């Protein structure tokens, strides 16, 4: 199976419903590469899966699951029926929703997942009910392939309070994929690098930029430089007056907010709306001191000066 070929009969199940207590804010909404992390995860999986299921908590806020062009991503959204039952619940609800016979399960906070490794795991399910990697001395249940047929057993675990996914593995035919096999497709095991703390998040952003390093010179030559000046609450939160950005060609005001959220995460919530591509209530955007902008699709021109103004910033 090629790593860019959709997997017939398989769904991707992406879990987003965790508490994010160590991160301090919802992980699914973290800006990553100019878009919310959950959108990044879905876009990474889209070349391999024609069916993608996102499992969220009952009242969890999610950004629009759309591409930058505004086109909807091919996603089915499922809500947990009982909050915070852990990954067993997420896996169960996702498999229940899947149309096909098998599901690849992951979480939204692993931005470096390898499509080649996923394809290999899928190829190993033929004579098994679960295919699960074993990496760094432990099983990886949130980067594993499950047959839809195991859903009733997961339901039994939920009802009995048995909330560890690995409890399932002794009850069914399980194939463990070891480190040597994993390294053939993902030499550093980056597929299992998840983000639990702000430090993890910043390290992942840095690694992502480093991985994209060879493409940067061409991008920079075609970039759109602009300056964002912060006023009122935004300046107080960021502890800086202005920020210089280099945006891709065709960038819009929404790209400005996403790039700003990634550079200054302290603004997300009070100034920039969760999801990172619009302003929070009580804030406005002005371009070059002339036009207040509400349309997020307005294109940014090289040299534009963009003002982020809060209601108490004065005239």
DSSP codes of every residue in 136-174: TTEE-TTEEEEEGGGHHHHHHHHHHT---GGGGGGGS-E
137: tokens are: 């001395």
Domains and CATH numbers, the chain: 10-202 (3.90.550.10), 223-310 (3.10.20.30)
Paired strand residues for 144: 105
Q: What share of the chain is helix, strand, coil (3-state, %, to 5)?
A: 35, 25, 45
Question: pLDDT of 254-299, one tens digit each?
Answer: 889 988 887 888 888 889 887 667 898 899 999 998 889 988 888 8
Write the pLDDT tens digit of every residue in 48-72: 898 999 999 888 888 888 765 567 7
Distance CA 229, CA 223 (A): 19
For the chain, give the mean pLDDT. 86
pTM exceeds 0.75: no
| 3 state DSSP class of 193 | coil
Q: What are 162-208's pLDDT values in tens digits?
A: 999 999 999 999 999 999 999 999 999 999 999 999 999 999 999 99
Asked whether 223 and 249 are in contact (CB, 8 A), the reply is: yes
> In whole angstroms, how far apart are CA 296 and each of 222, 257, 274, 300?
21, 9, 15, 10
In angstroms, the Cα distances linking 184 to 5, 181, 189, 300 are 19, 6, 10, 43
Six token digits for residue 32: 């990553």
Whether residue 239 has pLDDT greater than 50:
yes
Q: Output the six-digit token pair for 292.
A: 């207040």
Half-sphere CA count of 121, side-chain side, radius 13 A:
38
Classify 95 as helix, strand or coil: helix
Burial (CB count within 10 angstroms: exposed 0-12, middle 13-18, buried 19+), residue 31: buried
**Distance from CA of residue 204 to its chain's centroid?**
12
Determine the 3-state secondary structure of 42 from DSSP: helix
């Amino acid at each position: 199976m090629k790593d860019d070929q959709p997997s017939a009969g398989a769904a991707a199940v992406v879990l987003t419903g965790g508490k994010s207590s160590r991160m301090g804010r919802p992980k699914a909404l973290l800006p990553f590469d100019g878009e919310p992390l959950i959108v990044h995860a879905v876009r990474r999986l889209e070349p391999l899966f024609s069916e993608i299921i996102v499992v969220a908590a009952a009242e969890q806020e999610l950004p629009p699951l759309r591409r930058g062009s505004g086109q909807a991503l091919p996603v089915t959204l499922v809500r947990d029926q009982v909050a915070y039952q852990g990954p067993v619940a997420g896996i169960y609800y996702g498999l229940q929703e899947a149309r096909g016979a098998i599901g690849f399960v992951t979480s939204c906070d692993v931005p470096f997942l390898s499509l080649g490794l996923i394809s290999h795991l899928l190829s190993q399910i033929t004579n098994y009910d679960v295919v699960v990697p074993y990496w760094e001395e432990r099983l990886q249940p949130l980067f594993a392939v499950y047959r839809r047929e195991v859903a009733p057993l997961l339901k039994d675990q939920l009802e009995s309070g048995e909330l560890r996914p690995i409890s399932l593995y002794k009850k069914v035919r399980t194939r463990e994929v070891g480190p040597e096999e994993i390294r053939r497709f993902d030499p550093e095991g980056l597929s299992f690098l998840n983000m639990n703390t702000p430090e993890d998040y910043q390290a992942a952003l840095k690694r992502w930029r480093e991985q994209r390093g060879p493409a940067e010179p061409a991008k920079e030559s075609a970039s759109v430089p602009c300056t964002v000046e912060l006023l009122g609450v935004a300046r107080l939160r960021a502890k800086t007056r202005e920020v210089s950005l280099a945006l891709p060609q065709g960038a819009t005001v929404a790209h400005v907010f996403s790039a700003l959220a990634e550079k200054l995460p302290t603004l997300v919530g009070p100034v920039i709306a969760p999801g990172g591509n619009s302003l929070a209530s009580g804030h406005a955007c002005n371009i070059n001191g002339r036009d207040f902008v509400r349309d997020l699709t307005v294109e940014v021109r090289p040299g534009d000066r963009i003002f982020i103004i809060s209601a108490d910033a004065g005239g």
